[in-house]
Chains A and B, each alone.
Chain A
Amino acid sequence: MTKFRKLIPVVSLAVAVVFSTGMLQGQSSDRAKTLGSKLICMCNCGQILTACNHVGCTRSAAMLKEMDQRVASGDNDDLIIQSFVQEYGEAVLAEPPAHGFNGIAWAIPIVASILGLGLVVVLIRNWRHTPVPAPAAPGPSISPEVLERARKQADRETDD
């Protein structure tokens, strides 16, 4: 009985390992891998389908198997992707489509870059055209000897 009890965790582990892991179907074809990298695993982990092997994933194995079957049946890439979208919704796509409402996701970085670039250029132009303020004091309160020594030291330390 004690021996049996000791075996419980080992058996549990074996059962857990068999039933809790995804991607155990052997090696997928390169095409299936490429297509799988365009999809998200629907187990709510948010990871790419081909990368999802987290413990407890219940979906990736089935999705990859489905992908392999569709690739083997000779469907073209678009058809395969569309069939997944029909089955799981747009959320299965790893990146949002570049059209319609989802296009906004792609547009934001571009718009931010253009606006930012415009802002930077305008700021720099404004700064370039700002007149130099006249010195309030007649001159620095450092003697010419000290300034000269400082210049020489700076030259020594920064020039070739």
Chain B
Amino acid sequence: MDLFGSYALLLAFLCCLYAFGGGIAAIITRKPLLIKSARNAGMATCVLVWLGFGSLAYLFLSDNFSMAYVVEHSNRTLPTFFKIPAIWAGQQGSLLFWSFLLSIYVFTALFAYRNKHPELMPYVGVVLAGVQIFFLTLNNFVTSPFQVLGAPAANGALQWISRGDGQGLNPLLQYPEMVIHPPALYSGYTGFAIPFAFALGALLGRYPGEKWIHLTRRWTMIAWAFQGAAILLGAHWAYAVLGWGGYWSWDPVENASLMPWLTGTAFLHSVMMQEKRGMMRVWNVWLVFSTFLLTIFGTTLTRTGIVQSVHAFAQSTIGPWFFSFIALILAVCIAAYWKNRDYLRSDNQLDSMVSRESSFMFNNLILLVACVAILSGTIFPVLSEWLRGTKISVGAPFFNKVNLPIGLFLLFLTGVGPLLAWRKTSIESLRRNFGYPLLVGIAAGIIAVAFGLREFYVTICLILSVFVTLTILQEFYRGARVIAARNGANLLSSAAQLTMRNTRRYGGYIVHFGIVLIFIGVCGAAFNQDKQMEMPVGAQMDIGPYHLSHQDFDSTPETNYTSEKATIAVDRGGKQVIMLYPERRFYPANQESGTMVAIYSTLKEDLYVVYAGRSPDTNQPVIHAYINPLVKWIWLGGAIVVLGTLLALVPNQQPVLAIRGAAEAVVPGMAPTPATIPITRREGHD
């Protein structure tokens, strides 16, 4: 099976070379047969990559310990469920996993548009093949997962050997989230390759109009949703596994996943200006380029270990490959832009500084400043060491200080932007849309301060959260009221109808509401409390409203690990609310330990209990308990963001305006002019 996998990847590489070279020849010669064969080679590449990945999965599931990679990341007692994340636990497997997920996107795109957009698709195919060539080069020649174990024989020659068992999977990865988080993250990373390929293809081919934007909108949203979900799953994993009481530590690898999400968010907003007004063409193309470059940069940080990170599971010397690839992409993008910059000239003009366009510009500015701040903070230690030879740290306090005001301004724009009119917004409209929500928001802030809230940023966040929530509710209410008045349905069902009529717009509002919940949850961190003490069986601890009593402590050998587990009874107001079992596991296969945090989670707060080990002085168990307010709101907000995005992907139930047929009937035989096209079907996020 290892040979099968190796050959599949090698064939995939050759097919990909053909798809790339044949695609370029097809673009030059315009021969339909060549176009078709290049496309088919692209699809064959994908199928071969799937076979290669499938054979690696088989090697893991069948405990083939003649393979070096399987030995390093699995063992016989590892549950089958965790043999799945073991496939991408190391560098070789994760890069093949990158290729695998990318090939799913590439195949889907090539297949879905096989008979469409003949002017654009050859360019798209070439760009995608170029990206695949890079990863297949790594998979085949630089860091192959199909290397067999060898040992020198008596005659000095190297002979294949097989080990009885493997070294096991990193304990940090033996959690259900780790089965979902990396695929979601990589689906986000690889998914941005599609809009990148369409943007670069459209630029290279000078594809007319905004078609590429329409074609890639759903792809971008899917990648964006995956990326967002992955970031939150990663945060949840860090929260539940690392046991330090937090969910986001501004670690370089966390930052690497956030940056393309930020530029992707900026793109999803500014793209509306291009769709509606033909503006921001240069900007949008560069946002897509930057997003893709940041995804490669993120993979570089995770896989090369150039920065210190608890998440950088693989450290290696493949950095130069990645940096060369980033430089190559950048050079191609700059050259393509420079050669075709006149193609990107914008048409439209603006009537007022207070308009939807301006709010999108500011939204983009804020998102990009956040991205620049995070990027500079992430790479600054490397720069400092490189330029001055002095190692410095840029930790969470820096990122919090810089990003808090940025985030709050973004929250403000989340409420303001969608309610501003295109081109110009009147004072009356501002008053009507924002007066009441702003007043209620300020009132909420005053009440909170009166009740003792003294955190400046939390107060501002509270005011803005109330403001944004009310603007969103107001939008639903107004629209639902119109529908309810017309068809007599109740407000709730009218709101559902309203949402389904313009899923993109109202799905967007739901996403914004999810973001508000995340902000509220993050604000809870200002009121975190923690307490750590030695707790022999029978000992008690009081933290916040909770009373913890240590009832039992045991060590149990399990199939794959041995656990030390504390049994903690949690009382509140004299009534037992839950039993918690914080534990620590020791994995003999790789001589490593892992934490299992016990969490009692409510909407108000999480009681987060860690068994931190035994005291070196007394050998008694040490329990570290935290009260983390509002954390559940973050996960709830994340789920709502994903839900809203999925909703925005659903086609509208009926066109908001359907007059094309009528227009064509009135002027028979006349080709539709630009004036008729925009009002035939309105699907935009208005």
Chain A residues with a Cβ under 8 A of chain B: 6, 9-10, 12-14, 16-21, 23-27, 37-38, 40, 44-48, 51-56, 61, 89-96, 101-102, 104-106, 108-109, 112-113, 116-117, 119-120, 123-124, 127-133, 137, 139-143, 145-146, 149-150, 153-154, 156-160
Beyond contacts A27-B531, A158-B482: 6 other A-B pairs, Cβ-Cβ < 8 A, are A23-B624, A25-B615, A47-B395, A55-B594, A91-B393, A104-B380
Q: Which of B171, B307, B308, B347 neighbours the largest number of chain A CB atoms within 10 Å of its CB? A: B308
Is B675 a contact partner of A142 (Cβ separation < 8 A)? yes
Tell me if B657 counts as interface (CB < 8 A to partner A). yes
* Smallest beta-carbon distance B131→chain A, Å: 29
> Which residues on B sit within 8 Å (CB–CB) of A156?
482, 486
Is A56 a contact partner of B593 (Cβ separation < 8 A)? yes
Tell me if B142 counts as interface (CB < 8 A to partner A). no
Tell me if B243 counts as interface (CB < 8 A to partner A). yes
Is A140 a contact partner of B396 (Cβ separation < 8 A)? no
The docked-state distance in angstroms from the alpha carbon of A34 to that of B238 is 22
The docked-state distance in angstroms from the alpha carbon of A37 to that of B380 is 20
Given B362, B534, B657, which contacts A150 in the complex, CB threshold below 8 Å? B657
Tell me if B592 counts as interface (CB < 8 A to partner A). yes
Is B676 a contact partner of A47 (Cβ separation < 8 A)? no
Segment 370-418 of B: residues with Cβ below 8 Å from A:
372-373, 376-377, 380-381, 384, 387-388, 390-398, 401-402, 406
A-B pairs, 3 with minimum CB distance = A21-B613, A140-B675, A130-B349
> Which residues on B sit within 8 Å (CB–CB) of A102?
384, 392
Tell me if B361 counts as interface (CB < 8 A to partner A). yes
Given B557, B588, B615, B670, which contacts A24 in the complex, CB threshold below 8 Å? B615
Given A37, A112, A123, which contacts B397 in the complex, CB threshold below 8 Å? A37
Stretch of B116-124, B449-457, B633-641, B660-668 contacting A (4+ beta carbons < 8 Å): B660-668
The docked-state distance in angstroms from the alpha carbon of A160 to that of B432 is 11
Nearest B-chain residue to A42, judged by Cβ: B393
The docked-state distance in angstroms from the alpha carbon of A127 to that of B252 is 38
Tell me if B595 counts as interface (CB < 8 A to partner A). yes
> Which residues on A sit within 8 Å (CB–CB) of B481?
160
* Smallest beta-carbon distance B117→chain A, Å: 26
Is A117 a contact partner of B353 (Cβ separation < 8 A)? no
Can you list 11 pairs linking A and B with CB atoms under 8 Å apart? A9-B586, A20-B593, A45-B308, A46-B307, A61-B616, A96-B384, A105-B398, A112-B372, A113-B365, A143-B667, A146-B662
Is A27 a contact partner of B533 (Cβ separation < 8 A)? yes
Interface of B is mostly: mixed
Is A46 a contact partner of B392 (Cβ separation < 8 A)? no
Q: How many residues on the B side are at the interface (Cβ–Cβ under 8 A)?
A: 95
Tell me if B351 counts as interface (CB < 8 A to partner A). yes
Is A128 a contact partner of B352 (Cβ separation < 8 A)? yes
Is A150 a contact partner of B350 (Cβ separation < 8 A)? no
Knowing A23-B624, A26-B534, A130-B349 touch, does A113 contact B369 (C-beta < 8 A)? yes
Is B657 a contact partner of A40 (Cβ separation < 8 A)? no
Nearest B-chain residue to A46, judged by Cβ: B308
* Smallest beta-carbon distance B385→chain A, Å: 9
Given A91, A112, A150, which contacts B392 in the complex, CB threshold below 8 Å? A91
Is B659 a contact partner of A13 (Cβ separation < 8 A)? no
> Which residues on A sit within 8 Å (CB–CB) of B252?
46
Knowing A95-B394, A95-B401 touch, does A9 contact B588 (C-beta < 8 A)? yes
Nearest B-chain residue to A157, judged by Cβ: B482
* Smallest beta-carbon distance A38→chain B, Å: 7
B615-629 CB contact bits vs A (8 Å, 1 = yes)?
110010010100000
Tell me if B245 counts as interface (CB < 8 A to partner A). yes
Knowing A9-B562, A9-B586, A120-B362 touch, does A140 contact B593 (C-beta < 8 A)? no
Given A14, A94, A119, which contacts B395 in the complex, CB threshold below 8 Å? A94
Q: Which of A17, A23, A25, A117 neighbours the largest number of chain B CB atoms within 10 Å of its CB? A: A17
